[in-house]
Structure 1
Amino acid sequence: MYHIGNIYGITAISVIGGGLFGFDISSMSAILPTQQYRCYFNQGPKGPPYTDASEACSGPKPNVQGGITAAMPGGSFVGALISGYLTDKLGRKKAIQIGCMIWMIGSAISCASQNIGMLIVGRFINGLSVGICSAQVPVYVSELAPPSKRGRVVGSQQWAITWGILIMYYISYGCTFLDGPTAFRVPWGLQMIPAVILAIGILFLPESPRWLARHDRWEECQAVLTLVHGHGDPHSPFVKLELEEIKQMIEFERQNADVSVAELFRPRMLNRLHIGIFTQIWSQLTGMNVMMYYITYVFGMAGLTGNTNLIASSIQYVINVCMTVPALIWMDRWGRRPMFVIGALLMATWLFANAGLMASYGHAAPPGGLNNVAEQSWEITGKPAKAVIACTYLFVASYAPTWGPASWVYPPEVFPLRIRGKAVALTTSCNWIFNFALSYFVPPAFVSIKWKVYIVFGVFCIAMAIHTFFVFPETAGKTLEDVEEIFIAGVPAWKTKVEYSNVRRAEQGMLDPEKAQALEQRPERHENTQEIKV
């Protein structure tokens, strides 16, 4: 079968898996404030069932709405955990295809939901798919990408998420003008389309060369490296270098390590595990996904209602898409560490600013919340309200080129090949369990502690800036095998730096003299691998 060899073509298809998460976020955020949704799933005095869109329905109770929203990340937590077994056993491609099939089933159930219980089940099944794809798409792309482009192409998963959010938001917004349950059934049904495209498109992509090597399929491994990195030339110096480094790493692993989940918890791997887990935890504790799910609540507190609220909320999704682009272009030159530290400090600034504005110029909403929405329990008006909206936009503009893409790129880079699939599955599951907790926590938090929610997330951002500076080593501009050497040597995180120019020289055939000499001296056969003429 024909296989696409251009890394950007491979990326464009595979990161549709990230778009599934984006579709889910905005299909909820745009639907939440609509009368059609609130009346059909109402737990107040009017409804269910849906009767009249002109009636003021309060919708699900805050803790129930938190449960509906949290069902998807709850499923993603389970999906991410099982993805490690699927990807190591079946391969990166097949694991992603299984995720596509599960997404279609979940979307069908959500689309047909007759009650809150059925909606929760559909969203949980959707979450299984998102967990599998979000864990394994970065692994798959990182193992195919050349070092100088790895951040760019793996970070494209975040860009796909932002596009998914934007596209589905406007689809959902357009559907709000439809009558009755059709207003939310149509967008929830249309969610299936990207999964169909991904399931078909991935048939034309090559398998991960490192997964193939791990299973002693060396001829296929060399063929994939030749296709993607050698542009069809099997004698390319960079193909020879990468193949030799993969062989050397696998030989070392087989002689010195047992491959099991338990290895992640051994002393020599605990530091990496803690870094990978906190990368994903901190990305949630920035508060960004909360802002995406519940932005209509926040803008409702700032006095925006109806279509004005929905349109103003959509602007942050446009900002999210546009501001992710600089990271895709330059993150391999910037490095990961500056993105983590600077991004966290900027986000903390806007969060504290919002807290100060709401505390100084806002006041408690009437009983029951604004516009019969309990979560809108605080009110701010006039110029301070506009400042809150501006700070919210600036928060998104700070997250998009920093933590957004970097948090997906980083975990696959820090783990060795033998446990990369399982390790990234575990770290991504931590992302989703915190997403689950925050999705459930935020609606009642807006009711209980109101503007202090911003203080909570601002403190988290300060903590992550300090943590990443002292603990997270630089991985940009290095092969995955070179990153392994950083951890083995125990180099302090703040002493590591970007080595972009070195890998660019290697990819262009201008090998470092020491590496070139090492290649010439290496034998063409290894005890633990099949013979390959390189």
Structure 2
Amino acid sequence: MAGGAIATVGGQEGFKHLIDPNRKWYNNRRLIALNGWIVLLVITSSTNGYDGSMMNGLQSLPQWTKYFGNPTGGTLGLLNAIQNIGSLAAYPFAPYVSDGLGRRMAILLGAVIMCIATALQTASQSVGMFIGARFLIGFGLTFAANAAPMLVTEISYPSYRAPLTSTYNGLWYSGAIVAAWTTFGTFKIPSTWAWRIPSVLQALPSVAQIILIWFCPESPRWLINKGRDVQALKTLAYYHADGDENDALVQYEFNEIKSAIDFDKNIASNVGWLALFKTPGNRKRMNIIIAIAFFSQWSANGIVSYYLNKILDLLGITDTTMKLLINGILTIWNLIWALLAAFTCDKFGRRPLFLWSTGGMLLFFSCETICFAVFQEKQIDAAAHATIAFIFLYYAAYDIAFSPLIVSYTVEILPYPLRAKGLTVFNFTISLALIFNQYVNPIALDAITWKYFIVYVGWIALEFVFLWFFLVETKNRTLEETAALFDGEQAEAHIEAGVARAFGDDKQSASDEKIENTETVPSFHR
């Protein structure tokens, strides 16, 4: 990318010298408190993961399948897809709640709705009631899932922002682990409580958020956007500099945020839904965001994530205990790989992780397809065992990018005024992809079994090609610097000038001149 001091210094180098090397997450009480609040936020993802794994587990419980009339085909697809249909209904409202009422209030609203929904799900007396409750779970989850990752990335200490935000989506598996082992622990209960207990436990993260969200800090970016600069400065100072409002890092962050928001409002016109596609930079953002949203669900993971029970049946594994054990161990395996990738994303970079992930998926899923085909055609037990092994290897590859990075990458490349709307488009795209998968996968598996896997082999290969040519590296930059990558020299110069004014930098006049001589929205050069 050409031009701009921020780009020239390599992102994080622009503020890295301002960070106190002695202030670590484990030895500073205010950073410990801040990260404690972030834990409260990231459990939103755990709630989502709990739901997906719970549904996988419930399909293995005779008590659940018998109570709801042994659902198959379209009915089973609807039971899995209805949560995402509920999400679709909430998407038009979620960004307005996040931007209008604030990140915290959006999370609170979502948590309240989810508590009501899980109560209905636990008390379900018919398949219709169960489906209605799951619709409401998806509706409430959308508000929390829209606001929580944005608040994580907007309040994190700069040097921990990327790993913590990447941890958000990686913790999907923490909820999945709890659900998988809960269903394993209750499947011997000879009553409907075998599935009602896992249902009621789904509400626990939301209950914690309802009680504690009032004490969590609000986003400084949201506060500045609402004209509450004093409160924003106090929040940054309290958590990032032990209350010192004149700290160089705090002043850098505060003025960089103000300059970026001012640029987006007054120069780039980054407001409204149409702005998502109005400029070359925003169109490039949305092309990448929509693509990785589809890729995250259409990389064959949807087959195992929601229909592991059916896959194991096709592999000749019908014992309920063994099915639940495989499901439980797989979720632990996934969490380990997702967290390892989250905490190394600034070391390796986003682009290498995405490419390694997609290349690994292509290799291991191709091997999985071959082994699955051999078992289906020749009934060789060793082929079934190899298929299970390649499922684990495939997920290790998937987890190094598509578990931790898809949300963190999305929120970091979006400028503040478009962050909530852009994340809504991302989540909307995922829901569309999931609804398709959840309806099509069980029908296709019934119809053509292993041959259906070949479709995904070809699709993953296309994903690799797209990511090779279009994914932009963003490691070691602040949110404002990362967003400026897509908006060209004028955005960089405007932010640089704002920071320079704060520090009385003698480069200010040069930066101002640069703004005047730069096109409004120059094309992006990789």
Query: Which TM-score band applies after superposition, normalised by the shorter structure?
Result: 0.7 to 0.9
Q: Is the 8 A contact 1:413 1:480 kept in 2?
A: yes
Give distance in 1, aligned partners of 2:481 and 2:468.
Answer: 20
Q: 2:247 maps to what in 1? A: 236
Q: 2:272 maps to what in 1? A: 260
Counterpart check, 1:287 vs 2:317: no
Give distance in 1, aligned partners of 2:482 and 2:169.
Answer: 22
Structure 1 counterpart of 2:415, one-letter code: P
Q: 1:486 maps to what in 2? A: 485
Give distance in 1, aligned partners of 2:430 and 2:135.
Answer: 16
Q: Is the 8 A contact 2:252 2:502 kept in 1?
A: no
Q: Which of 72, 93, 96 is equivalent to 1:82? A: 93
Post-superposition shift, 1:197?
Answer: 0.8
Q: Which 4+ residue blocks in structure 1 deviate beyond 6 angstroms?
A: 2-5, 514-518
The alignment's TM-score, normalised by the length of structure 2, stands at 0.85
Q: Which of 29, 39, 56 is equivalent to 1:29? A: 56
Q: 1:389 maps to what in 2? A: 388
Structure 2 counterpart of 1:485, one-letter code: A
Q: 1:498 maps to what in 2? A: none
Q: Is the 8 A contact 2:369 2:454 kept in 1?
A: yes
Post-superposition shift, 1:515?
Answer: 6.6
Q: Is the 8 A contact 2:57 2:183 kept in 1?
A: yes
For the residue of structure 1 that corresponds to 2:504, the secondary structure is helix
Post-superposition shift, 1:518?
Answer: 7.4
Give distance in 1, aligned partners of 2:121 and 2:30.
Answer: 34
Counterpart check, 1:110 vs 2:117: no
Distance 1:417 1:187, change over 3 A: same
Q: Which of 259, 263, 283 is equivalent to 1:270? A: 283
Q: Is the 8 A contact 1:339 1:403 kept in 2?
A: no
Post-superposition shift, 1:442?
Answer: 1.2
Q: 1:41 maps to what in 2? A: 68
Structure 2 counterpart of 1:250, one-letter code: I
Q: Counterparts in 2 of 1:423-434, with a 5 A limit? A: 423-434=422-433
Structure 1: state its 5+ residue gaps: 43-58, 364-378, 492-511, 524-534
Distance 1:63 1:381, change over 3 A: farther
For the residue of structure 2 that corresponds to 1:341, the secondary structure is helix
Counterpart check, 1:340 vs 2:354: yes
Distance 1:350 1:3, change over 3 A: same
Give distance in 1, aligned partners of 2:142 and 2:416.
Answer: 20
Q: 2:169 maps to what in 1? A: 158
Q: Counterparts in 2 of 1:173-212, with a 5 A limit? A: 173-212=184-223
For the residue of structure 2 that corresponds to 1:324, the secondary structure is helix
Q: Is the 8 A contact 2:63 2:190 kept in 1?
A: yes
For the residue of structure 1 that corresponds to 2:294, the secondary structure is helix
Give distance in 2, aligned partners of 1:478 and 1:386.
Answer: 44
The alignment's TM-score, normalised by the length of structure 1, stands at 0.84
Post-superposition shift, 1:33?
Answer: 2.0
Counterpart check, 1:439 vs 2:438: yes
Post-superposition shift, 1:457?
Answer: 2.2
Give distance in 2, aligned partners of 1:336 and 1:147.
Answer: 17
Q: Which of 328, 337, 341 is equivalent to 1:323? A: 337
Q: Is the 8 A contact 1:159 1:324 kept in 2?
A: yes
Q: Is the 8 A contact 1:72 1:125 kept in 2?
A: yes
Structure 2 counterpart of 1:260, one-letter code: G
Distance 1:464 1:403, change over 3 A: same
Give distance in 1, aligned partners of 2:67 and 2:331.
Answer: 27
- C-alpha RMSD of the superposition: 2.3
Give distance in 2, aligned partners of 1:380 and 1:145.
Answer: 53
Q: Counterparts in 2 of 1:305-320, with a 5 A limit? A: 305=318, 306-320=320-334
Counterpart check, 1:520 vs 2:519: no
Distance 1:159 1:193, change over 3 A: same
Structure 2: state its 5+ residue gaps: 1-28, 491-495, 510-526
For the residue of structure 1 that corresponds to 2:93, the secondary structure is helix
Q: 1:349 maps to what in 2? A: 363
Q: Is the 8 A contact 1:147 1:477 kept in 2?
A: no
Deviates more, 1:283-292 or 1:195-204: 283-292
Post-superposition shift, 1:172?
Answer: 1.4
Q: 1:530 maps to what in 2? A: none
Give distance in 2, aligned partners of 1:382 and 1:115.
Answer: 39
For the residue of structure 2 that corresponds to 1:156, the secondary structure is helix
Give distance in 1, aligned partners of 2:379 and 2:316.
Answer: 7
Distance 1:477 1:204, change over 3 A: same
Q: Is the 8 A contact 2:237 2:243 kept in 1?
A: yes
Identical columns (%) = 27
Post-superposition shift, 1:93?
Answer: 0.7
Q: Which of 367, 375, 383 is equivalent to 1:361? A: 375
Give distance in 2, aligned partners of 1:433 and 1:171.
Answer: 29
For the residue of structure 1 that corresponds to 2:189, the secondary structure is coil
Q: 1:49 maps to what in 2? A: none
Q: Is the 8 A contact 2:294 2:429 kept in 1?
A: yes
Q: Is the 8 A contact 1:323 1:400 kept in 2?
A: yes
Q: 2:237 maps to what in 1? A: 226
Give distance in 2, aligned partners of 1:272 and 1:328.
Answer: 22
Q: Which of 36, 44, 49 is equivalent to 1:9? A: 36
Q: 1:494 maps to what in 2? A: none
Distance 1:3 1:89, change over 3 A: farther
Give distance in 1, aligned partners of 2:306 and 2:145.
Answer: 18
Q: Is the 8 A contact 1:17 1:137 kept in 2?
A: yes
Structure 2 counterpart of 1:314, one-letter code: G
Give distance in 2, aligned partners of 1:203 and 1:98.
Answer: 12
Structure 2 counterpart of 1:457, one-letter code: Y
Distance 1:211 1:202, change over 3 A: same
Give distance in 1, aligned partners of 2:263 and 2:74.
Answer: 51
Deviates more, 1:211-220 or 1:460-469: 460-469
Q: Is the 8 A contact 1:150 1:332 kept in 2?
A: no
Q: 2:472 maps to what in 1? A: 473
For the residue of structure 2 that corresponds to 1:294, the secondary structure is helix
Give distance in 1, aligned partners of 2:139 and 2:53.
Answer: 18
Distance 1:297 1:380, change over 3 A: farther
Counterpart check, 1:138 vs 2:152: no
Structure 1 counterpart of 2:121, one-letter code: S
Post-superposition shift, 1:361?
Answer: 3.3
Distance 1:490 1:216, change over 3 A: closer
After superposition, the C-alpha distances for 1:466-499 in whole angstroms (9 at most, x for unaligned) are 11121121112111111122112289xxxxxxxx
Give distance in 1, aligned partners of 2:54 and 2:270.
Answer: 44
Post-superposition shift, 1:189?
Answer: 1.3
For the residue of structure 2 that corresponds to 1:304, the secondary structure is coil
After superposition, the C-alpha distances for 1:83-120 in whole angstroms (9 at most, x for unaligned) are 11110110011001111011111111111111111111
Post-superposition shift, 1:30?
Answer: 0.8
Q: 1:503 maps to what in 2? A: none
For the residue of structure 1 that corresponds to 2:343, the secondary structure is helix
Question: How many aligned residue pairs are there?
Answer: 471
Q: Is the 8 A contact 2:296 2:402 kept in 1?
A: yes
